Structure 1
Amino acid sequence: MADQTRTAASWQDDARRDLVRSFGDRMAMFVRGEGAYLWDDEGTRYLDFLAGIAVDSLGHAHPAFVEAVSAQAARLAHVSNYFATPSQLALAARLKRLAGTGESGRVYFGNSGAEANEAAFKLARLHGGTDRPRILALTDAFHGRTMGSLALTGKPWMQEPFLPMAGGVEFIDSTAEALEAVIDDRVAALFVEPVKGEAGVLPLPEGYLRAVREITRRHGALLIIDEVQTGAGRTGEWFAFQHEGIRPDAITVAKGIGGGFPIGALITFDEASELFYPGTHGSTFGGNALATAVADAVLDEIERAGLVENARVRGAQVRDAVDAIGSDLVAGTRGLGLLVGIALTHPVAKAVVTAAQQHGLIVNAPNDTTIRIAPPLTIGDVEIDEFARLFGAALATVSDALLLENADDAAPTPTEAPA
């Protein structure tokens, strides 16, 4: 078992030496979690309002999660996709039901959201063939960091070190008018992130999904919706596309469906379900018995405990709590359910994250002017009241620092006293 008594300097040195630098310095060493709380290696408790970036749907060490891991690991973990397992079939059936695919739907399992989007990229290519070489995606959306999913990610600074990207992808603004201006019958698919999480928790305009569903259908293009961050009940519906009552051709899911266990999936609807055929895609670990049993148990608990409705109600409560703080640093809130972006009036998001951690609260800054919160779907009044207190204290800390900095900048430069 790893030594959990090392000093902060020691484990930071180990991380800098042994781990790739793509994540930068780690902000803490966490050794235990329970519910919405984490404890670091020094025994300090934190309220976790990030949940592994919308991953830990049930919080930490939830009995349903622990029991599913333990029971399935003691029974069967992996046999490869040459064979089926009961948990794999059960989870596929549950995902089809929750997404509303009907009997026509099919599920491909991978291990992450990026892998799910890689599969969706291939789905678009299979649909397009040589007659439809164009794929459209939204500016500033995020679909992953593998080469295929990165090609779909509308952030040039992420792509630049790895050019050239996979060809055929074009980026457009998030309006129906922008789609109408460029689409033709050579477009294979439109990829959509219903809430742009990495861009600052920016929901698409109301009615956008309904409009682009009609446009893509008219031109024979697939509508593929990335529900990696918004799925599993986080927005107050099982999937964000359900807020607009549409039927996509495919969705990608991951993060919250596993509650902390790595799993991703591509869920296809109608004719899109017939595009893959043997040999066109695969994953050694995708859909293994352990991952699918855990995900099925997590989704079962979300259903049983009414956590989709809880996300809707508590999300509104969290936004009201932020507004009630009354800080001059807060410009407003946005988002859906328990995926909330807090807009700041100054580019101090990183400072707010640091101050929050110092006060015992975990949040995230996707950019300089936004705080992202995505707590466990299980939170209630106690956790929200504590969040408001801790976040208010963090905002006050940063606000005081700004006032001091502005005062220093405004102070006259000392001059030498006359003789």
Structure 2
Amino acid sequence: MTGRLVIIGAGQAGFALAAKLRALKDARPITIIGGEADYPYQRPPLSKKYLLGEMSFDRLQFRTSDWYPENNVEVWLSTFVEAIDRQAKSVRCGDGRSLDFHTLVIATGSSPRRLPDEMGGSLGGVYVVRDKQDADRLAAEMKPGRKLLVIGGGYIGLEGAAVARHLGLEVTVIEMAERILQRVASKATADAMRAIHEAHGVSIREKTGLTRLLGVNGQVTAAELASGEVIDTDLVIVGIGASANDAIATAAGIETMNGIVVDEFARTSDPNIFAAGDCALLPWDGGRVRLESVQNAVDQAEAVAAILAGGHDPYRPKPWFWSDQYDVKLQIAGFNLGYDRTIVRPGAREGSQSIWYYKEGILVAVDAINDAKAYVTGKKLLELGRNVDPAVVADASSDLKQLIA
């Protein structure tokens, strides 16, 4: 428990780090610097329950504003860090203020990729969903009968499509790749999610690229596809991935490559500086990976807190993710990077199933579609490091829970 800890980033990782240190009775002064005007809040519900109007913003906030002074956590809102001076151990902010640190943690997250201006990215009615302001602007446009074009068939795009259909919009999803979810899930998972969306009236067009968006008086009105076809639209959600917010680290001479390179203790190439959350590029299976998930942001930040409080345990990711679309809950345990085989296992309920991923005969991940039992079982097996014979998984009559016992 020593000099000031400065946390750049007031998202999930930044808050989790401060909260865990206080739970560990670490009394060092903490300052969180965040670019938004609001105290730290949850982001996943922004594209789901918040956008639907089913969850108020105060329910998204991790703590009320009183919690921060009560726990000696200073928060600088609406403030951007312009530079890190590693030699002087200080940060300089855009408003002219500087702040010295003993330890620095960069938790700047990631930013959604946007369409370039030459493709119509600057037109009115074109949205990404990353923060409260994005969600508020989009919510004002979500009116029954309007036409929405979703660019990108990943989780963000599909969640936006589900919300829009719930609100009565006509929805078209275009995906440039062979299929939706190609980067993150198996063909079996993609097939199941496509069928669910099409049953709800969404038009999904795969292997369909965008040439440009068209507009009148600065407002989007249509999209020209790579085929030459032009389709009308009133608004657009862009869901084409995210890039790590690592520019501040790069400028300071810290090692980066679409993510801030960290070791198993979340230390950067500067031993006094850590990184956690979506911006961190961490060791994984002999390589490096960015894990863009709430689970990783919290777990990695809490691991950093434990290290700062005197611990010595490395961070060993145990990934899990989820996506809510309509009345469907897709739950994912593990990380399917490099898988070479999948097995589809039917669930007990109609329409439920799980997809089990193997890499060189070893179980690496499980997708569960409305199948909580399969998710919990797969997650536990992965955490315990226990492999499951693919033949056992394929046998729908087998009781996988016995493997845990």
TM-score normalised to structure 2 length: 0.29
Higher percent of residues as strand: 2
Q: Please give the TM-score of this superposition, normalised by the length of structure 1.
A: 0.28
**Greater share of residues in helix:** 1
